[in-house]
């Protein structure tokens, strides 16, 4: 029946044993397998086209010839693959030096977001800032009331905030600002003798946001607060210039735009000159040369009063920044969800694993 095969196929069949013997590794074997029995462009594929076009009376004999040829090629390729793999294992066993120490498993490291929060803390430490922490399950008094947030504010609604069922007045904190309230209340008697206070409050916060490339119901913030005598916006601007230049580079410029937050007065949004394009305009800054990075302002007198601190004697400023937002900008990561999916390839690329 081999006489039914076209000459070029017969020639390929005669060359097959020599080509197979010349395959010294799996790559070469896979190339030969693709040339002979691959789905497209192989000798087997051309034979199937030949079978489709053959006269009806020849199809039976031609089909038997084609199947016999394909089966012979497949069996020979499998046998050669087993020989190549056995030879590779034997070579590896011979090259193994028993005196060498065993390979160590991959070492873990801090998550990229934790590394960035540590970096932010390190930037502010030389300025005398320390770290304060607070619970993630908060009271309305600390999360809203102590921050001068009115009872009818939309943020207090169940559409935006996770309240604990069966526990009236308890919720998952929506920002790290309750740490400011707790710290001021706890240290109010000592503020005078300490001459003021300055601290950072990094941590997780929760809001009822839909999960998408730029939003998550759980994310991270870093709050900063300074309380002292005769503190003004110039102190805030100078501190932020120092910190943001330490983070983004010495040529970074900042600008303050008026904005409203219930717990500061006056309030502002703070932009930095885009560190990715040098303020020339790019996709990240949407061609403007500026990127919004945080909100800030002078502490509202009501916040100080509610904490037991006399606003006639003391003043201060506060700021809050989103850690994921900054991480996405610094790394040009397009999707916030990548930071929470624990894909080791992404974490290694971000320096999250050694």
What are the tens digits of pLDDT across the range 276-303?
A: 787 788 877 888 889 899 999 999 999 9
The Cα-based distances of 197 to 44, 95, 237 in angstroms read: 80, 64, 18
Question: What is the mean pLDDT of the segment spanning 260-264?
Answer: 95
Q: What is the pLDDT of residues 206-217, one digit of tens each?
A: 999 999 888 899
pLDDT tops 90 at residue 160: yes
Structure tokens belonging to residue 33: 């397998």
Q: Token pair of 333, please? A: 């990561």
Q: In the predicted model, what is the mean pLDDT of residues 170-178?
A: 96
The CATH number of domain 112-349, selected from 3.30.930.10, 3.90.1150.10, 2.60.40.1120, 3.40.50.300: 3.30.930.10
Question: Which residue in the block uniquely carries the two structure tokens 């905030």?
Answer: 161
Average pLDDT of the residues in 248-268: 94
| DSSP per-residue codes, 250-291 | TT--EEEEEEEETTEEEEEEEEEE-TTTTTS--TTTTTSSEE
Q: Three-class SS of residue 87?
A: helix
Tell me how far CA of residue 2 lies from CA of 11, 52, 67, 68, 146, in angstroms: 11, 17, 11, 10, 92
Tens of pLDDT, residues 11-41: 778 888 888 888 888 888 888 888 888 877 7
Residue 170 DSSP class: E
The CA distance from 151 to 144, in Å, is 8
> What pLDDT does 38 receive?
82
Residue of 119 and 347 predicted with greater confidence: 119
The answer to whether residue 192 scores a pLDDT higher than 80 is: no
Could you give the CA distance from residue 272 to residue 201 in angstroms, rounded to a whole number?
A: 22
Contacts of 126 (CB under 8 A, 6+ apart): none
Name the burial class of residue 129, with classes exposed (0-12), middle (13-18) and buried (19+) by CB atoms within 10 angstroms of its CB: buried
First to last CA, the chain: 62
pLDDT (mean) for 174-178 = 96
- Percent of the chain at pLDDT > 70 equals 95
Q: Residue 352 above 60 pLDDT?
A: no
Domain residue ranges in the chain: 2-95, 112-349
Nearest to 172 by CA among 206, 134, 209: 206
pTM above 0.75, yes or no: no
- Mean pLDDT (whole number) for 45-55: 80
Query: Residue 91 has what pLDDT?
Result: 66
């Amino acid at each position: 029946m081999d006489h039914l095969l076209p000459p070029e196929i017969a020639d390929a069949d005669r060359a097959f044993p020599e080509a197979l013997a010349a395959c010294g590794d799996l790559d070469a074997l896979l190339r030969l397998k693709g040339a002979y029995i691959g789905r497209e462009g192989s000798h087997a594929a051309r034979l199937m086209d030949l079978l489709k076009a053959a006269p009806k009376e020849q199809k039976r004999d031609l089909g038997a010839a084609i199947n016999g040829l394909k089966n012979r090629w497949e069996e020979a390729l499998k046998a050669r693959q087993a020989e190549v793999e056995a030879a590779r294992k034997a070579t590896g066993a011979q090259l193994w030096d028993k005196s060498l120490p065993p390979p160590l498993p991959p070492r873990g490291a801090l998550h990229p977001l934790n590394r960035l929060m540590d970096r932010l803390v390190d930037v502010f430490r030389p300025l005398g800032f320390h770290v304060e922490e607070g619970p993630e399950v908060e009271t309305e008094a600390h999360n809203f009331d102590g921050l001068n947030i009115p009872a009818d504010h939309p943020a207090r609604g169940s559409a935006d905030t996770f309240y604990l069922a069966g526990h009236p007045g308890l919720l998952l904190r929506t920002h790290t600002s309750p740490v400011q309230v707790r710290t001021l209340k706890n240290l109010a008697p000592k503020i005078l003798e300490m001459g003021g206070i300055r601290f950072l409050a990094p941590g997780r916060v929760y809001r009822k946001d839909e999960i998408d490339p730029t939003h998550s119901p759980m994310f991270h913030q870093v709050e900063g607060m300074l309380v002292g005598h005769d503190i003004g916006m110039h102190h805030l601007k100078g501190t932020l210039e120092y910190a943001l230049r330490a983070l983004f580079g010495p040529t970074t410029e900042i600008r303050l735009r008026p904005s409203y937050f219930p717990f500061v007065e006056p309030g502002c949004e703070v932009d930095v000159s885009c560190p990715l394009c040098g303020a020339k305009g790019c996709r990240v800054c949407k061609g403007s040369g500026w990127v919004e990075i945080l909100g800030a302002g002078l502490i509202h007198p009501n916040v100080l009063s509610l904490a037991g601190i006399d606003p006639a004697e003391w003043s201060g400023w506060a700021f809050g920044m989103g850690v994921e937002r900054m991480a996405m900008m610094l790394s040009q990561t397009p999707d916030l969800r990548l930071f929470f999916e624990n894909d080791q390839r992404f974490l290694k690329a971000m320096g999250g694993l050694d």
